[in-house]
Structure 1
Amino acid sequence: MLTTLLAALLASAAPATDCHVGSYRLSDGSALDIGHSDENTLRWRRIDGSTGKLKRGAGDSWTSTFGWTDRPDGKDVQFTDCAKGKITFDGKQGERIPFTVQETTFAGEGGTRLVGRLILPPGKGKVPVVVLVHGSEKDSARTFDAMQREFPIEGVGAFVYDKRGTGASDGQYTQDFSVLANDAVAAVAEARRLAGARAGRVGYRGGSQGGWVAPLAATRTKVDFVIVGYGLAISPLEEDREAVAFQMTLKGYDQSVIDKAWELSDAVGLILSSGLTDGFDQLDAAKAKYGKEPWYKDVRGDFSYLVLPMSNAEIREKGKAYMWHTPWHYDAMPVLEKLQTPQLWELGGDDIDAPSGETLRRLASLQAKGLPITTALFPHTEHGITEYELGKDGERVSTRYAAGYMQLAIDFAKGTLHPPYGNSAMVFPQQTPAK
């Protein structure tokens, strides 16, 4: 990878691992990406979904563990000449792929200074460009989003930027979808400017919370496609209700118990959506009614589990740190109903954070109206479209990304699909609009 990218990584992440980060072409023609992970570790990824965490051993040798588990997977990495991009992975030698990298700053809504990066595949021809709209995380996307390199590995450019209030970008962190959508509009303009004559199809890929932001941005600027990863067509408050219901169902509870659990979720939602001014009486009443029920301990949701253990005083005090202008009642459907841009929605069948059931039903209703929406449901996958296993404590541990997940996004950006994609169940747009 070019020195411009290396310089950026050196400026924004742990110095122990900077020169290792990049995409590599191995001697058998396959590709490997090495990216940042937890402190003092790296993560390797392949387009087929396989992945592992790398821990440093002697010299510049690293050993891998399977997925996100602690089990050795028998693979190792040796950076034979890190500065020159030389690597050996699982016995195969490789070299860093020489992407074209451009660093930039641009103005988001209100003139806020945002920091971004365009990475293009080698060559001079036109390529699709994906603008990466990240989710609710506060980490630097420029440091941690591996898709900025995974797309270029397969001939698709990627523009990544630190969301306002994160990484090297200015401004305050926010979950205001409208503000973030305007920032994404500015990002598309900057990506097109930097790519110049090489820009072919240009579109968004939004993950998680970015699944609300990217379609909204697409109604405010011209793009050729929108890719949503494990996003939702329901509101943030409905997300918590759906998560409560899905998780309780997995634990064997029936609808009568879910209805009671929803009283707790609704009270928590009222507290948060009112800016910590309302809903406390409702929460007190629901806790008094159900606090000793055997199922009470299993109420989780997307955010309810964080609030339920707190006293009202703790909620009022600690809740101040989470007032990020989240549009709790945001209705995605009016946006999606008028969006004529082709969309791909990649969803996890077992996603307990953003359950896909109601979102799939709503997207199906839009498909029936002739809107250009493609859905792909990956079975037995978690938020992030990762497959998982259950630990002894019953908690999920991810093992890999689903086969076909990344390739589907790449092909959609290129405008040509070649199903099947792993075990995903795909539904395509109707050929003609429904009358």
Structure 2
Amino acid sequence: MAIDYRIPLQAQSFDMLGMLGRGSELAQFYTKQKTDNEMTRIYNESQGDLDKMLSIAPQSKYARWIMPQLQSQKAAQAQAAIDQQQSLANISKTQSEAFKNNTQGQGYGLDNSGKRQAAIESVIQQAAMTGDPGQVLIGLNRLAKTGLITPEQYQQEAAIVQAMTPGELQKYAQGSALTNKEVAPYLYQTANNAADNAQSDINNQRSTNASIYATDTAASTADKNRAQQQEQFDANLYVQQNKPLDYFTAADGTRYAVYPGGRGIPVSGPTGEPIKAQQSGAMNSTIQNAILETDEKVSATRNAITNLKDALEYSKKAYDGVGAAQRANIRGLIGEDERATATTMLDNIVTGNALEMLKATFGGAPTEGERAILLQLQGSANLPRAQREAIYNRAIQMAEARLASSEQKAGQLRSGTYFSSQPQQGVPYANAGQQPQSTFNLFD
């Protein structure tokens, strides 16, 4: 459109913005044409290879317009490859699942068919022993009711069973049972089975016999061991009970064994006669101890008699009756008193001296009378004079009897006549099976 200078610009319909817009569009068109031509040149030069075009385009002066297009095409190409791979993967997965489902379906069908057939065979095998068709028909009916077999299968199998005789059904059932490893052993026994069973019976019998023999042997051995132990125990007990403490020879040459308690028994020979020593030997320790003990008893007895006689003299002047000793103690605190002194001396002599001496005289096994005197002497100072003097006199008599016996024993021990003078006693502690000629106790 030409401009008329005669008309003001405002009056003319001059679209300045429109002209600028059209100029921009013209520039864009020109640029696009040049870019397309450059793209065509690069395309031809690289023979359409996008990677080569990306390597050539940066040297072009239109690179800033060409490169974004090529990069966009490269990204689109990569995304297309990814989409293609995803599509192929999905197709492959779908095909695989379809194949799996088909296979499983076929497997389930075969498995169900096998289970149905196994159930039918199991029912038929029930007739292997009797050939009873009724038993088989009942089993087939139950399979049909539970849905394990179809009604058509029930009709087919029932028709087959009913067409057979009991014998034919039994043979068919037995043949079917051969395939069942749990049922076949109950119906058939092979030669190997029979041999195995026979050998098993033999082995069991051998094991039983061996067990019985071992038990009997163990019991017999235990009985023998117990018998030997009892014999050893009896032998040890006999030795302990019959073991002498010492030996000595009497004046007449008789050999004695001394046992616990001082018992002496003549030693016998193989034929039962007492053994005589060839010559008298020196006094042994047992006899020496017996002599010493007897001498001690003699001395104690004499002292006891002396003390008792002194007590009789003090008794004439001492207090008597209940509380005599206490009265003497009180009177002694006041001053000298002859009766109090005599009472104190009496009590000291009797309880402190005479009583202890008599205990040594009577020994560990006093007679009943001796035991009574020992009890009466205790506290005798508080008795009436007549009673206590009677006790002292009886004690003196018993002590004198013991003194005479002890003096005689001491003399016989020293002379060697003590052993031959003892009375014979039947004490079975000489040599085994022999009765002693005489026994005695050295310490009586």
- Range into which the TM-score falls when normalised by the shorter chain: under 0.3
- Structure with max Cα Rg: 2
Question: 1 or 2 for the larger relative contact order (CA 8 Å, sep ≥6)?
Answer: 1
Higher helix share: 2
